């Protein structure tokens, strides 16, 4: 297999790269052209952008509330095991918080988390959700209606996640200078996680496989969609 690590002899990059002169030093130092024009079109300042982000987040929560009112809360909410419902709510919310922190962290240089760490959070958090779901939730009763129930939940979760995803797309326009794909994927996972939490209050089916596919899979789907659809708009 081809080795990708540099030779130990070139461990010190400063020494290895030092003897190479800069062929563009002179041209780079030539008189600069003035700016074509001073930007006249208004652009949001930091405080306006923060206000826009907070507004989008509040609107996403309101959208989930409206979705809950539209699809109606599950009928067994007062009778079923409360810890299980709490877990069904908390697990995707935890994934959402982790993904949101990964996307929002500024990092030492203000360029966000390093891509590899972002990738670990964006992929790792939903995977942890999958492991926890399969470990803590009861097995699904084997019946013929499993796939139709799950399919319905996938559609409802997609509807619940679409609103936050659109709002996120508006909020993160021109927001990321580096690793925009991974950061928008994290935003997509947050939208999916919000929807997965809301559907836990709608759907009474608490079977492990149903929760995993019908509710949780949308986190990964939204992550992929976000990276593909809004990644370019979010990149500066």
Task: Find, among 149, 157, 151, the residue nearest to 67 by Cα.
Answer: 157
- Minimum CB separation of residue 17 from another protein in Å reads 4
Q: How many CB atoms lie within 10 A of CB 10?
A: 10
Distance CA 76, CA 70 (A): 17
> Residue 52 or 221: which CB sits closer to another protein?
52
- Minimum CB separation of residue 63 from another protein in Å reads 24
Residues that bind another protein (CB under 8 A): 4-7, 10, 13-14, 16-17, 19-30, 32-33, 35-36, 38-39, 43-50, 106-112, 114-116, 174-180, 182, 235-236
Q: How is residue 139 written in tokens?
A: 């097995």
> Residue 56 or 158: which CB sits closer to another protein?
56
Task: Find, among 151, 172, 160, the residue nearest to 222 by Cα.
Answer: 160
- Minimum CB separation of residue 54 from another protein in Å reads 13
> Residue 48 or 134: which CB sits closer to another protein?
48
> Residue 32 or 144: which CB sits closer to another protein?
32
- Minimum CB separation of residue 164 from another protein in Å reads 19
Q: Could you tell me the maximum CA-CA distance found in the chain, to the nearest angstrom?
A: 78
Task: Find, among 139, 136, 118, the residue nearest to 128 by Cα.
Answer: 136
> Residue 19 or 78: which CB sits closer to another protein?
19
- Minimum CB separation of residue 81 from another protein in Å reads 44
């Amino acid at each position: 297999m081809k080795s990708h690590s540099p030779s130990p002899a070139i461990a010190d990059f400063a020494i290895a790269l030092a003897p190479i002169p800069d062929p563009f030093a002179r041209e780079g130092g030539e008189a600069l052209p003035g700016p074509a024009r001073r930007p006249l079109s208004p652009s949001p300042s930091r405080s306006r952008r923060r206000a826009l982000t907070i507004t989008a987040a509040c609107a996403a929560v309101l959208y989930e509330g409206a979705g809950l009112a539209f699809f109606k809360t599950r009928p067994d909410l007062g009778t079923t095991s409360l810890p299980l419902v709490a877990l069904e709510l908390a697990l995707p919310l935890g994934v959402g918080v982790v993904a949101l922190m990964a996307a929002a962290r500024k990092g030492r240089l203000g360029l966000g988390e390093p891509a590899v760490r972002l990738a670990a959070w964006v992929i790792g958090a939903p995977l942890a959700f999958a492991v926890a779901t399969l470990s803590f939730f009861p097995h699904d009763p084997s019946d013929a209606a499993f796939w139709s129930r799950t399919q319905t939940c996938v559609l409802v979760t997609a509807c619940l996640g679409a609103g936050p995803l659109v709002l996120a797309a508006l909020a993160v326009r021109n927001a990321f200078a580096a690793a925009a794909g991974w950061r928008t994927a994290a935003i997509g996972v947050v939208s999916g996680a919000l929807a997965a939490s809301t559907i836990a209050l709608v759907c009474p089916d608490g079977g492990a496989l149903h929760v995993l596919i019908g509710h949780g899979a949308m986190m990964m789907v939204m992550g992929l969609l976000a990276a593909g659809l809004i990644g370019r708009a979010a990149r500066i």
